[in-house]
Structure 1
Amino acid sequence: MTWTMNSCFVTLAVLFLWRVEDMAEACSCSPAHPQEAFCSSDVVIRAKAVGWQEVDAGNDVYGNPIKRIKYDIKQMKMFKGPSQDIDAIYTAPSSAMCGVTLETNGKKEYLITGKVEKDGLMHVTLCDFIKPWEAMSPIQKKSLMQRYETGCDCKIARCSSIPCMISGPMECLWTDWVTDKQVNGDQAQHYACIKRSDDSCAWYRGAAPPTKYFLDIEDP
């Protein structure tokens, strides 16, 4: 009887440790409006992956080798970033470590946002805004050219449950999760948070540039 109880205890302890390790390795990040992703990224490009390979990226603090996936890419357009083209991006080898998976047949184009790390290379994670170009709305594509950048001084406040409100005039309230039950809702697809002439910020919808005294969510 004692052996059985001890065996059960050991089994439960092992399962618990596995669970803790799974939780530690899980990738989680807060959702970001496309404008937030644009403003917080070092690089924003339209590109397609044409190949990949696993590469060494040094060792961790314990001396264990660190692996990364290197995607060779063909850049179609740069919306934000360095003067030279990006020809490769790096990511973790698994989704549990926030690694990104891209199709490498050279046919699928993506909008890719990411960071330039100390090694001078572009790194991406699941927390970055990476989306098939064909799935982008016309307003999102248009906003990449200038509109998102003009609103980088504004702050987008996420509303996950009612009631919620902004804390100042420089904020726009992002309510897609409440109204559309998804992150990629109406505001994410069709709106940008833009600074107005009085230095306050408000949602703007439309393909044309905002007028000098545009109204909140106006659609010209």
Structure 2
Amino acid sequence: MMSWMKCCVFPLVLLCMWQLQEGAHACSCLLTHPQTQFCQSDVVIRAKVVAKKAGDGKFNNVKYDIKHITTIKGPKIPFYTLYTASNSAACGVTLTEGVEYLIKGQMRSDGSLHVSSCNYPVPWKSSHKILVERYLMGCDCKITRCDSVPCGISGPTECLWTDQLTDNSVKVEQDKQSACIKRSDGSCAWYQEAASPKKY
């Protein structure tokens, strides 16, 4: 009986502990509006993925060579590479060669650009021209997520994000078509109307 316990139960306990440890290190991101991701990013660029390469060992990451098209937010320097974690459990992202992306990321002290699934790069669309212009106008505003009613805002510089409500009466998807911007009176409000975008 004791030998069976040693040969079977102990390995099972180790396996369970390993699974718990793996789960503890799984990627976890707060659900945030794309504008919040935009405003909290050090760098926002439009870029085309050229090639995927193994990391150089310094970051233990995957490296993507990119063709920098334009800088939307951040230092006005070209980026030729970006780094991401090597797997999704560590918040790594998988990008497709030949595709242009709207990339939001953080810049390390050595100047390298890092992206994660918490600010996931999305394929570039013409509609982003309007949205990123509006996002730039709204970084002084706060977007408050509403998961269940009743919910409200604590001040005039907040916009209520209601996409998560099951009985959402707002027809426009705020995470895809809206930006929370500051108005002339200092308050913030959702903006959906198309405008002449800047040339990005």
Matched-pair identity in %: 51
Trace 1:106-117 onto structure 2 (pairs within 5 A). Answer: 106=98, 108-117=99-108
Cα distance in structure 1, aligned partners of 2:129 and 2:33: 14
Q: Is the 8 A contact 1:110 1:133 kept in 2?
A: yes
User: Partner of 1:17 in structure 2?
Assistant: 17
Asked if the contact 1:180–1:186 (Cα under 8 Å) also holds between the matched residues in 2, the reply is no
Q: Corresponding residue for 2:81?
A: 88
The separation in 1 between residues aligned to 2:144 and 2:51, in whole angstroms, is: 38
Describe how 1:29-178 pairs up with structure 2 within 5 A.
29-58=29-58, 66-104=59-97, 106=98, 108-134=99-125, 138=127, 140-144=128-132, 146-178=133-165
Shift of 1:18: 1.8
Cα 1:160–1:15 change in 2 (3 A) is: farther
Extract unaligned runs of 5+ from structure 1.
Answer: 59-65, 210-220
Aligned CA distance change for structure 1 residues 201 and 87 (closer, same or farther; 3 Å): same
* Residues 45 and 79 in structure 1, CA contact (< 8 A), matched pair in contact too: yes
Deviation per CA, 1:102-151, whole angstroms, max 9, x where unpaired?
112x2x111110011111111111111311124x7x2x43121x211111
CA-atom RMSD in angstroms:
2.1
Q: 1:73 to 1:13 in 2, by over 3 A?
A: same
Question: Hey, what's the Cα distance between the residues in 2 that align with 1:192 and 1:78?
Answer: 20
Between the aligned partners of 1:3 and 1:166, the Cα distance in structure 2 is 63
**Structure 2 length as normaliser, TM-score?**
0.87
Query: One-letter code of the match for 1:76?
Result: I
> Do the aligned partners of 1:112 and 1:129 also contact (CA within 8 Å) in 2?
yes
The count of residues paired between Structure 1 and Structure 2 equals: 193
**CA separation in 2, counterparts of 1:123 and 1:71?**
10
Q: Which residue of 2 aligns with 1:214?
A: none
TM-score under structure 1 length normalisation: 0.79
Cα offsets for 1:70-92 (capped at 9, x unmatched): 11001222211212211111111
Corresponding letter in the other structure for 2:131? S
CA contact (8 A) 1:46 1:77 kept: yes
Deviation at 1:57, TM superposition (A): 4.0
Q: By how many angstroms is 1:7 displaced?
A: 4.2
Q: Which runs of 5+ in 2 are unaligned?
A: none
The worse-fitting range, judged by mean Cα deviation, of 48-57 and 31-40 is: 48-57
Displacement, 1:189?
1.3
